[in-house]
Amino acid sequence: MGTIIEPFKIKMVEPIRFTTREERRRILQEAFFNPFLIKAEDIQIDLLTDSGTSAMSAAQWGAMMVADESYAGGRSFFRFEKVVKELTGKKHVIPTHQGRAAERILFSILGGKGKAIPNNNHFDTTRANIEHVGAEAVDLVIDEGKKPSLNHPFKGNIDIGKLEAFIERVRPENIPVGMITVTNNTGGGQPVSMANIRAASEVLHRHGIPLFLDCCRFAENAWFIKTREEGYADKTPKEIAQKMFSYCDGATMSCKKDGMGNIGGFIAMNDDALAEQARNLLILTEGFPTYGGLAARDLEALAVGLEEVLDENYLAYRHACVEYLAKKIVAEGVAIVQPPGGHAIFIDARAFLPHLPLNRYPGQALVCALYEAGGVRSVEVGSVMFGKPDPATGQETFAEMDLVRLAIPRRVYTQSHVDYLAEVVLDVFQNRDQVKGLRFVYQAPFLRHFTARFEQVEP
């Protein structure tokens, strides 16, 4: 019996409101062809993000009911701390309300003018928090990681040669910390091998530089190591995750991903002095160190979620779900970033809609077409997100690629939802020559994709 079934039964359901194509056409018009502006109740399958959208288990909801909401020293904190300590092996665990709060605290202490922080690829909030304190965020992913159609088991690896050259050039005293993001979200959710984490830690440590993992998807990364890297097939995901953490000195986490929660994060570290400074900043802006801006019930849910996420049956199902969708659409000729990532599939919109020039935003056009065809919400990761008008000439600059991300929420959708998703993608693919391009009618001066407005352009 080869079918990998959802490793859970459904105890609580949330109805999906169905809409007709007619209605969706009107909704798209009213949202100015920007799905960020569509009400969630008008969406049938929401693949906007895997962040904070996980379905919690009965055990998580149960734990929330017995949470200890004491301001200081609450039982729920110690439960959360114990789980994170066991996972990461770090001495200090500081809860935060989400990943970017952990980043802001860490880089407020370590950043500053003249400092530079390497990573495979910085996630956008990580980069923004580093740049906000005047430091430089540098991406050193391997070259294979930048080639969408190239297949490589660990496209998220950091380039060890580039890392050595970077340290040589910038000097260790200007590099307060080195980071690795697992899995590499910005690079398409691609994993990092254990050998690469070890090699990077050796290089950094030789120069006295600590390594921090941006570990939002540590469990998905552990699964890739188990199934793709020699020597790990017989290890449990937990043992693999613990080994990953054994090479680093600290970690920042958004528990909205592999924490299986709807909110939360943490910083973990061994350095006592750094932890003291972090706690002081936490008190200033987030809350007392035993709740860090969270309700104790969130800490309880995360303590359970951080263990559930390492369940082998869950990870096998999680991975199978993404692979299954990828296989179905690739078989019919849809071009995606290869191999599919841990939490998402990225469709190559330029290949999908070759009749649309770059200034008709093929990624955004495809996002709208998927919504119109089947009520599916995805997100453009391309020129709408990363392009901008040149300040001098007003000429639009375009991103290197126009991708459409289908991010899969954890434990939310079943196989028939995924079958439907594939049908929607293939329906648009078969009628792709009818997809209309878009032009901007409004854009904000920064992060324009969230609020942009468009109109359709007749061919």
Ligand X SMILES: *Cc1c(COP(=O)(O)O)cnc(C)c1O
Residue with nearest beta carbon to ligand X:
99
Exposure class string for 361-370: b at 16+ Cβ within 10 A, else e: bbbbbbbbbb
Question: Whole-number minimum distance, CB 49 to ligand X, in Å?
Answer: 8
Query: Quick one: 76 or 254, whose CB is closer to ligand X?
Result: 254
Among 123, 154, 245, 317, binds ligand X (CB under 6 A): 123
Query: Is residue 254 part of the contact set for ligand X (CB under 6 A)?
Result: yes
Could you tell me which stretch among 31-39, 96-104, 227-235, 314-322 binds ligand X (CB under 6 A)? 96-104
Q: Which of 42, 81, 159, 214 binds ligand X (CB under 6 A)?
A: 214
Structure tokens at 419: 């079958």
Q: How far is the CB of 299 from ligand X (least distance, A)?
A: 15
Residue 181, interface with ligand X (CB under 6 A)? yes
Q: Work out which of 57, 185, 290, 338 binds ligand X, going by CB under 6 A.
A: 185
Q: At its nearest, how many Å lie between ligand X and the CB of residue 103?
A: 7
Task: In angstroms, give the least distance from the CB of 294 to ligand X.
Answer: 12
Of 249-257, 362-370, 390-398, 450-458, the window that binds ligand X (rule: CB under 6 A) is 249-257
Q: How far is the CB of 374 from ligand X (least distance, A)?
A: 26
Least Å from the CB of residue 265 to ligand X: 5
Task: Confirm or reject binding of residue 100 to ligand X (CB under 6 A).
Answer: yes
Instruction: Please select the residue that binds ligand X; options are 126, 196, 201, 378, rule is CB under 6 A.
Output: 126
Site string for ligand X, 103-122 (x = CB under 6 A): --------------------
**Least gap, CB of 345 to ligand X (angstroms):** 16
CB of 409 to ligand X, least distance (A): 13
Contact call for residue 265 and ligand X (CB under 6 A): yes
Q: Is 292 in the site for ligand X (CB under 6 A)?
A: no
Q: Is 99 in the site for ligand X (CB under 6 A)?
A: yes
- Contact call for residue 216 and ligand X (CB under 6 A): yes
Q: Which of 92, 155, 256, 411 forms a contact with ligand X (CB under 6 A)?
A: 256
Nearer Cβ to ligand X (181/242): 181
Q: For residue 338, give Cα distances in angstroms to 147, 190, 221, 427.
A: 9, 9, 16, 22
| Cβ at position 298, least distance to ligand X in Å | 12
What residues line the site for ligand X (CB under 6 A)?
51, 98-100, 123, 125-126, 181, 185, 214, 216, 254, 256-257, 265
